[in-house]
Amino acid sequence: MASSLSRRSALRAAGVTAAGTAATFTLSGASSGAEAPVFAHGVASGDPMPDSVLLWTRVTPSAEAVPGSGKGPSVEVRWEVAEDAGFARVVARGHLRTGPERDHTVKATAGGLCASTAYHYRFTSGGKVSQTGRTRTAPAHEDDVARLRFGVVSCANWAVGHFAPYGYLAGRDDLDAFIHLGDYLYEGNPNPANDLRPSVPPNELITLSDYRRRHAMYKTDDHLRRLHARHPMVATWDDHEAADNAWSGGSPSHDPATEGAWRDRMRAAHQAYFEWMPVRHRGDRLYRRLKFGKLADLTMLDLRSYRTEQPDPAEESDGTILGAEQRRWFLEGLARGTASWNVIGNSVMVTPIKVPVLPSRERLALGDLLDGQPTTVNTDQWDGYTADRRRVLDAVAAQGRGNTVFLTGDVHSSWANDVPRDGTSVAVEFVCPSVTSDNIDEQLGVPPRTGSLKVEAAIRALNPHVRFVELDSHGPGVLEVTPDAVRMNWYYVADRRDPATAVTFAHAFRAVAGEPWVRPAEG
């Protein structure tokens, strides 16, 4: 028996998918009238290449120039990159102007850099100097690279927890970059009665000012600011950067009658994202590919901007999750790729998954899950776009190299999957849990590792290609890439509501070169 569930209701029914201190920082909301700090939202870098890296900051030149206000003067901002933290050996510098037309954000490409090299950077404006950031360039394309390490994160809901997973990654010295797989922020309507941290603005995001203010609020989180200042980011978006379960023509949560045209809301969300995030883009095109020597190609997909509406699983669909242009670009890249590993930043799960439909919250909380239960599929994932998935897996199989790794977020849980094509695995998929967003235990209101255990067992029974699933925990992943294997480590927080919570190693799985399936890894 099959049934159709939205992504949010599927999490509530089956535990698979979903949707402290007060935020008193005045620059995220109204001006307090006091002199504004010039660099109040930190610094960041992103999309490292062998000879360049993207630098980001936001300048507040006057007290009225708060995010989203459209107010404040145009000012000059200078940037510099040095080999040392004291800036005695500056190797690149430049300047540009910014103003209210781009919310006083700054994005500069620092070029002429050396490959595989750590650098320090900073900004100055109006006689004030930003904090110093640290970044790192990618290896040269022709380099034989022995090892890469990437942090892997997704799904950070400000209102329900603190971003300790980001703080954990900020404290590591061995990362080449961190990969963010979407839902960097949440656009939803806050619930002040239940929220741990009040949101700015205190409403669902609709306008350009709304999205700008929410981005600014996120960049006041200490854990996230330290991570941005410590490692370069490589990011894509998912739905909550705009609206829940977004597709190219709308969202189930968007009402044109009361919220205006979808295209206007999407345009506002995209503009704020490109202003506030350290990502390279061409117009609205976010999908891109970065090379890390001969060891890894990192492809970042955009699975929201071009997709058709999520289909009913009971009906045949010729819809697309990639769109024709991105699909052509992606398939050509798969065919031409020569790196040891093909790593794909993928915001929603590519592995086909049957989800058990649970009888009730109460029976699940008691651990009562019947044999022979009906199942559904989550059509917000690649399961709703099987023609596109078939084309992609055909291209992966045609290479015959067993070197493709999908990195996925979205589902607020931890997975290690073989990705099957005609019953044979052709790739692997590692899914990171959420930074804070609700997992099954929070949805059920039960202690962790109680109500979810039989759900996990049912998922594995229905899907033999799922080698590992854990539905309760929050935290980051760390992906280690060597010529011989790719390994994913999962780290879990003890309490998402505690900004100083412990973060500890929990699980590890790996895939060996030439063998497209996952297996447990030691230690």
**Which residues, including other chains, have CB under 8 Å from residue 434's CB and lie 6 or more apart?**
154, 155, 156, 157, 183, 409, 412, 413, 474
pTM of the model: 0.93
* Among 318, 277, 291, 312, CA closest to 41: 277
- What string of pLDDT tens digits covers the 523 residues of the chain? 333 333 333 333 333 322 233 333 344 443 344 456 799 999 999 999 999 999 999 999 999 999 999 999 999 999 999 999 999 999 999 999 999 999 999 999 999 999 999 999 999 999 999 999 999 999 999 999 999 999 999 999 999 999 999 999 999 999 999 999 999 999 998 888 889 999 999 999 999 999 999 999 999 999 999 999 999 999 999 999 999 999 999 999 999 999 999 999 999 999 999 999 999 999 999 999 999 999 999 999 999 999 999 998 877 778 999 999 999 999 999 999 999 999 999 999 999 999 887 656 644 444 444 445 577 899 999 999 999 999 999 999 999 999 999 999 999 999 999 999 999 999 999 999 999 999 988 987 888 998 888 889 999 999 999 999 999 999 999 999 999 999 999 999 999 999 999 999 999 999 999 999 999 998 7
Query: CATH class for domain 2-520?
Result: alpha beta
In sequence order, which ranges of 86-188 are alpha helices (DSSP H)?
Answer: 164-170
Structure letter (DSSP) for residue 105: E
The beta strand positions in 1-147, using DSSP E, are 2-4, 43-46, 53-58, 75-82, 90-98, 105-110, 118-125, 128-129, 133-136
Three-class DSSP labels, 37-70: CCCCCCEEEECCCCCCEEEEEECCCCCCCCCCCC
The full set of domain ranges for the chain reads 2-520
Q: Which amino acid is at 424?
A: T
Write the DSSP assignment of 211-240 as a string of letters: HHHHHHHHTT-HHHHHHHHHS-EEE---ST
Q: What is the CA radius of gyration of the chain?
A: 22
Residues in CB range of 517: below 8 A, 6 or more apart: 418, 425, 428, 467, 511
